């Protein structure tokens, strides 16, 4: 991204907070104005009092100086609150925008952009922009005002003394700039090492049973010690750099002071410089130390911020591939029957040479119960993901009640289809909240009814806190079968006309699976059910069975018809019977 576009982006981030920015900048200007004026008062005090020292003269100078100094610190505080506050506000806005934008993107986006990278953009990169807009803006404005107001007054007092004392400041600026890059890299390394160690802790806690089964405690101890040592080394390097830089700045500032004392003292002796002017110059030189040093940090903060703007804009400029068409049709769920059709439907994953689905055609009547069986990788999940448009499918191939699904609003399409995916994902909250995730306002009775259809209610009432039992991270405290039936109850809570179960009862025994299937149409209408499964005895009870192979539907019929036909279904059925016998 070009610098001008980046600056425009920064402007756009700042725009909503222009009032605070203006107030902050005015406050900084005032602080710097006072910072120049107060030493001038001190100068007159010193010059007057050195001629005639009276208590009334002391009071005459001390009170305004004390009041102005207090006012200066108060205004400085206000400027910091306003300007740092903008950084925090922009951080809040950006995090919210990124999160909301990520929610609009399709699952395929998250397959190519890892969670770690997205988290780092939403945290570290946002943090860099916060620093750029808070700290860097404050420091830059402060440095500009400090030099703009102080330098002319210093030069008017003594040009050569000013130039001699500030001659060392460019060196200070360069030093800080070099170090600040180093400090940021070292800080990033500490964070990286810390995240390595927390990843190890997280993995080991999740896999503690595996560690014990294979007696790997010693190896894990070594791995932890190594990562812990890496954190220590990175922290020590950072501390060394910090502890070198700050005394060095102090040292260089003292050199400036020494130059003024050395050159100034001889001028005072010669009568060409008053003591008041000498003291004023000393104060001004001191005043310019921090703005100069901070400018070095500001440049690094700007460079980091630039990279971060690009990284964040890369997310925000990604347009969702699956979105409502401008003329998308609104199809209220109450009017839908649930008839599904595919007409020569094909789908290929990006970069894949062979299509995952190849010219599939079928009709599933409303209220029909269809099982989809087939070998691993034959395209069953791809078909299931296509119906609620979790995949970016082309128009004119899949239809719901005769309407092209790409023309229906996503909200309507997805509320028409209840979908239980292969992996039953549970949140670390109560059983009740997990079930009513699909309808957060559902009453307790509705949750219980859904759990009854999914045949999980009798087990839930034996949990320690019944429906209020916390299921642990990703449902860890539940068995695989319990997790699957909880996810099924979640789908049953919404009275959608179409229900897709993608191998969603694989951890449930055949009898329970068949009982659940018989239960499914117990809502206000008969649902269209698409039951993807490897459990052929449960599939046999469905109205029809589709047999898939290499992205195509190779057989369609009832269990009896398919057995008579022979082909892939009979082979699968024979294998299934052998497996059942061996159980």
Contacts to ligand ATP by CB under 6 A: 111, 349, 352, 356, 374, 376-382, 503
Kindly state the smallest distance separating residue 141's Cβ from ligand ATP, in Å.
50
Kindly state the smallest distance separating residue 398's Cβ from ligand ATP, in Å.
15
State which residue, 42 or 108, has the beta carbon closest to ligand ATP.
108
88 to each of 80, 124, 128, 305, how far by Cα in Å? 12, 13, 11, 14
241 to each of 165, 189, 237, 292, how far by Cα in Å? 26, 13, 6, 19
Kindly state the smallest distance separating residue 499's Cβ from ligand ATP, in Å.
17
State which residue, 350 or 458, has the beta carbon closest to ligand ATP.
350
DSSP assigned state of 413: H
What gap in Å lies between CA 364 and CA 342, rounded to an integer?
A: 9
Please tell me the number of Cα atoms within 13 Å of 327 on its side-chain side.
1
**Chain-centre distance for alpha carbon 42:** 53
Q: In what order do the strands lie in the sheet with 357-364?
A: 357-364, 340-347, 398-400, 403-404
Q: Are strands 369-374 and 528-532 parallel, antiparallel or unpaired?
A: parallel
State which residue, 349 or 444, has the beta carbon closest to ligand ATP.
349
Ramachandran region of residue 401, left (φ > 0), alpha (ψ -120 to 50) or beta? left
481 to each of 99, 372, 469, 484, 488, how far by Cα in Å? 32, 20, 17, 5, 10
Kindly state the smallest distance separating residue 342's Cβ from ligand ATP, in Å.
14
State which residue, 308 or 484, has the beta carbon closest to ligand ATP.
484
Kindly state the smallest distance separating residue 507's Cβ from ligand ATP, in Å.
14
Kindly state the smallest distance separating residue 503's Cβ from ligand ATP, in Å.
6
Kindly state the smallest distance separating residue 387's Cβ from ligand ATP, in Å.
12
State which residue, 190 or 372, has the beta carbon closest to ligand ATP.
372
- Spatial neighbors of 258 by CB under 8 A, at least 6 apart, are none
State which residue, 92 or 349, has the beta carbon closest to ligand ATP.
349
State which residue, 87 or 379, has the beta carbon closest to ligand ATP.
379
What gap in Å lies between CA 105 and CA 573, rounded to an integer?
A: 40
Kindly state the smallest distance separating residue 10's Cβ from ligand ATP, in Å.
37
Kindly state the smallest distance separating residue 381's Cβ from ligand ATP, in Å.
3
The residue behind tokens 């979105």 is: 323
What gap in Å lies between CA 6 and CA 13, rounded to an integer?
A: 11
DSSP string covering 503-515? STTTTS-HHHHHH
DSSP assigned state of 583: -
Kindly state the smallest distance separating residue 374's Cβ from ligand ATP, in Å.
6
Q: Are strands 528-532 and 498-502 parallel, antiparallel or unpaired?
A: parallel
Token pair for residue 565?
Answer: 């036909």
Kindly state the smallest distance separating residue 376's Cβ from ligand ATP, in Å.
4
State which residue, 111 or 148, has the beta carbon closest to ligand ATP.
111
Q: Is the dihedral angle over the CA atoms 198, 202, 207, 212 positive or is it negative?
A: positive
What gap in Å lies between CA 255 and CA 139, rounded to an integer?
A: 23
Kindly state the smallest distance separating residue 494's Cβ from ligand ATP, in Å.
23
State which residue, 374 or 497, has the beta carbon closest to ligand ATP.
374
State which residue, 331 or 491, has the beta carbon closest to ligand ATP.
491
Kindly state the smallest distance separating residue 370's Cβ from ligand ATP, in Å.
15
DSSP string covering 309-348? HHHHHHHHTPPPSS---TTPBP--GGG----EEEEEEEE-
State which residue, 176 or 500, has the beta carbon closest to ligand ATP.
500
State which residue, 123 or 552, has the beta carbon closest to ligand ATP.
552
32 to each of 26, 37, 151, 249, how far by Cα in Å? 10, 9, 12, 22
H or E stretch at 399: strand 398-400
Kindly state the smallest distance separating residue 359's Cβ from ligand ATP, in Å.
15
SS3 (DSSP) at 500: strand
State which residue, 253 or 539, has the beta carbon closest to ligand ATP.
539
Please measure the distance between the N-terminal and C-terminal CA atoms of the chain and give it in whole angstroms: 62
Please tell me the number of Cα atoms within 13 Å of 97 on its side-chain side.
16
State which residue, 376 or 581, has the beta carbon closest to ligand ATP.
376
């Amino acid at each position: 991204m070009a610098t001008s576009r980046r600056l425009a982006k920064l402007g756009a981030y700042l725009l909503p907070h222009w009032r605070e920015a203006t107030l902050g900048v005015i406050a900084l200007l005032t602080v710097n104005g006072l910072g120049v004026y107060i030493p001038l008062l001190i100068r007159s005090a010193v010059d007057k009092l050195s001629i005639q020292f009276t208590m009334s003269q002391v009071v005459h100078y001390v009170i305004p100086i004390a009041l102005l100094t207090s006012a200066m610190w108060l205004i400085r505080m206000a400027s910091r609150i306003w300007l740092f506050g903008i950084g925090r506000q922009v951080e809040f806005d950006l995090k919210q925008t990124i999160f909301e934008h990520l929610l609009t993107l399709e699952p395929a986006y998250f397959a190519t952009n890892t969670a770690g990278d997205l988290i780092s953009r939403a945290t570290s990169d946002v943090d860099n922009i916060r620093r750029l807009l808070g700290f860097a803006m404050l420091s830059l404005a402060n440095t500009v005002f400090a030099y703009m107001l102080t330098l002319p007054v210093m030069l008017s007092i003594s040009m050569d003394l000013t130039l001699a004392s500030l001659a060392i400041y460019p060196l200070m600026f360069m030093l800080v700039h070099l170090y600040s890059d180093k400090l940021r890299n070292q800080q990033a390394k500490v964070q990286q090492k810390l995240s390595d160690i927390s990843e190890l802790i997280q993995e080991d806690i999740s896999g503690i049973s595996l560690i014990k089964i294979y007696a790997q405690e010693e190896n894990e101890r070594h791995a932890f010690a190594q990562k812990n040592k890496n954190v220590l080394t990175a922290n020590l390097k950072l501390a060394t750099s910090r502890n070198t830089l700050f005394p060095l700045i102090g040292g260089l500032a003292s050199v400036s002071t020494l130059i003024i004392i050395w050159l100034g003292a001889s001028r005072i002796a010669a009568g060409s410089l008053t003591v008041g002017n000498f003291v004023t110059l000393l104060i001004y030189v001191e005043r310019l130390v921090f703005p100069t040093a901070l400018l070095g940090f500001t440049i690094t903060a700007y460079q980091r911020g630039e990279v971060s703007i690009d990284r964040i804009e890369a997310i925000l400029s990604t347009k969702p591939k699956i979105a409502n068409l401008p003329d998308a049709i609104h199809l209220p769920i109450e009017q839908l029957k649930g008839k599904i059709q595919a007409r020569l439907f094909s789908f290929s994953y990006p970069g894949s040479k062979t299509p995952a689905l190849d010219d599939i055609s079928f009709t599933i009547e409303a209220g029909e119960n269809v099982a989809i069986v087939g070998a691993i990788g034959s395209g069953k999940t791809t078909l299931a993901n296509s119906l609620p448009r979790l995949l970016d499918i082309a128009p004119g191939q899949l239809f719901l009640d005769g309407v092209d699904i790409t023309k229906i609003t996503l909200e309507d399409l997805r509320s028409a289809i209840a979908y239980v995916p292969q992996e039953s994902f549970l949140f670390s909250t109560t059983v009740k909240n997990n079930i009513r995730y699909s309808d957060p306002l559902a009453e307790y009775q509705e949750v219980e009814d859904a759990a009854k259809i999914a045949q999980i209610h009798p087990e839930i009432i034996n949990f320690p806190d019944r429906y209020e039992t916390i299921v642990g991270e990703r449902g860890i405290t539940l068995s695989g079968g319990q997790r699957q039936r909880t996810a099924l109850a979640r789908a049953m809570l919404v009275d959608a006309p179409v229900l897709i179960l993608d191998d969603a009862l694989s951890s449930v025994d055949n009898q329970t699976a068949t009982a659940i299937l018989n239960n499914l149409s117990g809502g206000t209408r008969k649902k269209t059910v698409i039951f993807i499964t490897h459990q052929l005895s449960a599939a046999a009870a469905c109205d029809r069975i589709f047999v898939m192979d290499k992205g195509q539907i190779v057989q369609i019929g009832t269990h009896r018809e398919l057995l008579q036909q022979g082909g892939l279904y009979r082979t699968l059925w024979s294998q299934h019977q052998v497996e059942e016998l061996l159980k």
